[in-house]
Chain A
Amino acid sequence: MRTRILFAALWLVAAAAGRAAAHHSFAAEFDASKAVRVTGTLVKVEWTNPHTYFYVDAKDEKGEVVHWACESGAPGALSRRGFKRSLLKLGDTLIVDGYRAKNGANLMDARRVTLPDGQVMVGASAGDGGPQ
C-alpha cells in the first residue's frame, strides 16, 4: 500500500513536471490501447536528450529473448523527480509498464519502472498528453 501511495504522489509530481519536458505528442508515437508490461534484464542505458532510452532483454511467451527499447522523459525531467541515472544498473531485472509504439516495433513508452528493490519510478514524458 505504501508503494502505491508513494507512486501516486510521484505520478502527480511527474505529471505536472512532465509538462515541461514533452518533446512530442505521446499519441504521435504510441498506442494507448496497447498497454504492455516487460520484465527483463537491463542491457543498455542512453541517458540522453531529447529522451532517455534504456534497453531490456525479456523473454516472450515462447521463451525467446526479445530486445525492448524503453523510451522515457528527458534526463533533466527524470532527475528532478528523483529518477537518477545511478538507479539504472546493467544486469538488474526491471519491470517496465507502458504503451507500445504504434508501428509495432519493440519500442515502448516507459511510463512506470519498478526497480529490483521495489522502488517505482515515473519514466513518462507526462506533458506529452499521454495517459496519467
Chain B
Amino acid sequence: MQLDDTKVPKGRPAPRMANGKPDLSGYWKGTTQTKPGGNIGKDLPGWKLPLTPAGEAALKHNLTATVDPEAVCIIGGTPRHNASGLPFEVLQGNNKIVFMYWYSYFRLIPFGPGAKHTDDPDPSFFGEEIGKWEGDTLVIDSIGFKDEKVWIDENANPHSDALHVVERWTRPDYNHIHVDTLIEDSKFYSKPFHYARTWALGEPDEQIQEYSCSENNVDAAHLGFGPGPIRSDGTRGYENPAPLPPLPKK
C-alpha cells in the first residue's frame, strides 16, 4: 500500500549502526506524494527526458517492438526499481548492504575501503555497484549495465550500456529513506539528469514475500508492445476508460 506521507510521523532520529553510520534497514513503501509514479523524468520540466537521436530511436523501439521486460520475468534493475511502485526491503551490514525487491530480486552492494569497480565488469541489470559513505550518505556508484531487454522506468524509456548511475541514499529520520539519483548515459541522453524520491517505513510485520514470477506467466502471450498509452499526468494508462457495469443488485 502506498502511504500518505502527510500522515507519517517525522522528527524521530534515524537509527544508527554500532559504527555510528545511519542504519538504512527497513521495509520501505512508496508514498502518494511521488508523482508521476513510474516515470524516471518526474523531476524534469514536463517530465521531458533529454533524449539524443539514438535515445529517441531506442524509445521508439521499446514502445513498438518490445514487451515490458518485467512482464516476462526479467530484472528491472537500476534505476528502474527506484521508480517502481513496489516496496523494497533493506538489510545493512558493516561491509555490505542488500536491497531486496518483490519478484524475488536483490542487489548486494559492498562498501568500504576495498570496494572498487573492476576494469571490465560483466554487463548486468543492476550494474556493478560499489558503495561508500560520505558522512551520513551512502553513495552507490554503478556502471556495467546491459543494453538489451531493459527499460529505465515503467514508461519504457530506454538506457544504454553507457549508463552510469550514482545513488545518494540517506535516512532523514526514522520513518523515511531518500535517494537522489544522478543518471548519465551519453549514448541516449544529451545531459545528466536527477531523479529523487522518498519512501516511508512500513509496519514491523511487513516484509518481502515469496514470488515466483515464471510460475504461471501465461499472460505474456497477450501483451502488446510498450506500456500502452501514457496519460497527460505522466503515468501509464488510458485517459478515459469505459465505466464498469453497475454493481449487481442483491
Which A residues lie at the B interface, using CB under 8 A? 3-4, 7, 13, 16-17, 19-29, 32-35, 37, 46, 48-51, 53, 71, 74, 76, 95, 97-99, 101-103, 105, 107, 111-112, 114, 118, 120, 127-131
Contacts and interface: CB of A to CB of B under 8 A. Distances in A.
Interface secondary structure of B, over-half rule: loop
Contacts, number: 146
A83 to B, nearest CB: 15
A48 to B, nearest CB: 4
Interface in B36-57: 37-38
Interface of B: 1-2, 29-30, 32, 37-38, 67-68, 70-71, 73, 85-87, 102-103, 154, 209, 211-213, 215-219, 222-229, 231, 235-238, 240-245, 247-248, 250
Nearest to A15: B2
Given A35-B242, A130-B241, A131-B238, 19 more contacts: A4-B247, A13-B1, A19-B1, A19-B2, A20-B2, A20-B29, A23-B213, A26-B238, A35-B245, A46-B216, A49-B216, A50-B213, A50-B215, A74-B211, A97-B244, A98-B244, A102-B222, A129-B236, A129-B237
Given A46-B216, A49-B216, A95-B248, A23 B70 contact: yes
Contacts of B67: 24, 28
Contacts of A71: 219
Interface centre among A19, A34, A46, A130 (most CB of B within 10 A): A19
A35 B243 contact: yes
A132 B240 CA distance: 11
A78 to B, nearest CB: 12
B238 A27 contact: yes
Given A24-B70, A131-B244, A19 B85 contact: yes
Contact of B222 (A35, A46, A105, A127): A105
B216 A26 contact: no
Given A23-B71, A25-B154, A3 B250 contact: yes
Contacts of A103: 222, 224
Contact of B71 (A28, A37, A95, A98): A28
Contacts of B226: 28
A51 B216 contact: yes
A118 B250 contact: yes
B62 to A, nearest CB: 12
A98 B241 CA distance: 11
A28 B237 contact: no
Contacts of A51: 216-217, 219
A49 B213 contact: yes
